[in-house]
Amino acid sequence: MSYPTTETLRDRAVAALERCGADPAAFGGGAAARSPITGAEVLPVGHASAADADAAIGRAEAAFRVWRTTPAPARGALVRRFGELLREHKSDLADLVTIEVGKSRSEAAGEVQEMIDVCEFAVGLSRQLYGRTMPSERPGHRLMETWHPLGVVGVVTAFNFPVAVWSWNTAVALVCGNTVVWKPSELAPLTALGCHALLARAAAEAGAPADVHQVVLGGAEVGGRLVDDSRVALLSATGSVRMGREVGPRVAARFGRSLLELGGNNAAVVTDSADLDLAVRGVVFAAAGTAGQRCTSLRRLIVHEDVADALVDRVVDAYSKLRIGDPFDDSTLVGPLIGPGAYEAMRGALRRAEEAGGTVLVGGGRRLAETAPGAYYAEPAVVRMPVQAEVVREETFAPILYVLTYSDFDEAVALHNAVPQGLSSSVFTRDQREAERFLAADGSDCGIVNVNIGTSGAEIGGAFGGEKETGGGRESGSDSWRAYMRRATNTVNFSEELPLAQGVSFL
């Protein structure tokens, strides 16, 4: 397998950005976009200062005063045009995702498709921002609710889905009448600049305010301005539990709203009645796909003791055949980790697992250190654990799959729920009673609960998010749009009398 040089990656990134309408020469300096494919710098990028972030919020606030009174279907026209441009530039944005994050071509293209899909969803939503009319207890009165835009929405995204999660928030926020200030991951500035250029073009063509969307590149200082500025009505932040513990109270202290998508420690229960062919396919993609760097990646496999050996043998065999390497090669299934810190965290977790009595059955090593010395290609690991030790209860953002066994379904559910996180879960079973139990109130305690599919690969039509330390936020589909709007309860008196509610008499 041949590997692209850093120069090749740079040329490819510049070409993609230019086709999207972003000017690479205008990036400035002070920082650099790196590629985990080679571990080297690809392009210089400029970082915003705290003052730049303040100014961006101010421009978005001014644009909001125009945008909030624009009819919702007209707001949908902007998102429709943006979706069309995403279709035209799907390959360009997929290139940028692969260069900056190391996703395989298939997964990178899938992420851009997710953006296109959520734009279609949001365009339909622009004609469905429904309120309710309720019966009034007073004659000649009408009781109803209406929904209004919030204001400026701050969006802070993580590296692993550098564009999809932003689009979930932005497409919905825009049709709801908000403006957006985006602080992308420091590890993925190029994808952000490409997306922003396309959205700016869509805004110009749709006649929307030029400042309806702002992007600010930078680190914690820039993100902190979005957290603390009272002009940011809603802050949607994706990242670690540690980040959420800091961000949530600060936003709450100024009585702002926050939407948090934090850690996941996702598990699949495989029962003795499961279709093992189906389970193997679901487990391997969920655990090894994206090099284990999805918030919905499968990290714990809870298997009935009667089928554990057979299932584990098949998973280990599949792992030994995974194609690891250059994500631009169509045959590659597992690309690089984002950087050395991720690999060090993986090795540390494996050491702790072994100290707790675990046995590494496959993987855990580093590949291609001579071919790409600055990059970290890790072999996805499977670890058989005697108990759910503390290291298993923690999220390690790397391809480690811990295997635990159970004898009774209640035990499996208890093992599943005995972690602080609550994002995604699944059960593989042919027994309808087990499936329904897992979906019930005393079953999985996660925000996403699947039957006979893996934990990753959510569709945009359903609300995405989790419980417990995952933060409780919901994005994308269903009625998650309500998080981006404020509700007003209205009473209209069309009579000539003024009766009071609850039969109160006054005057």
Looking at residue 414, its amino acid is A
Pull the structure tokens for residue 145.
């609710």
H or E stretch including 183?
strand 179-183
Pull the structure tokens for residue 27.
């990036």
H or E stretch including 367?
strand 366-367
Distance in angstroms (rounded) separating the CA atoms of residues 341 and 16 = 28
Is the separation of the CB atoms in 251 and 258 below 8 Å? yes
Pull the structure tokens for residue 305.
């003791």
H or E stretch including 266?
strand 266-270
3 state SS of 456: coil
Is the separation of the CB atoms in 124 and 116 below 8 Å? no
Q: Which of 61, 114, 261, 475 is catalytic?
A: 261
261 in active site: yes
**Sign of the C-alpha dihedral computed for residues 181, 231, 119 and 114 taken in this order:** positive
- Nearest-5° angle of CA 327, CA 331, CA 337? 30
Only one residue has tokens 């110009």, namely: 204
Is the separation of the CB atoms in 150 and 234 below 8 Å? yes
Distance in angstroms (rounded) separating the CA atoms of residues 247 and 497 = 50
Could you list the active site residues?
A: 261
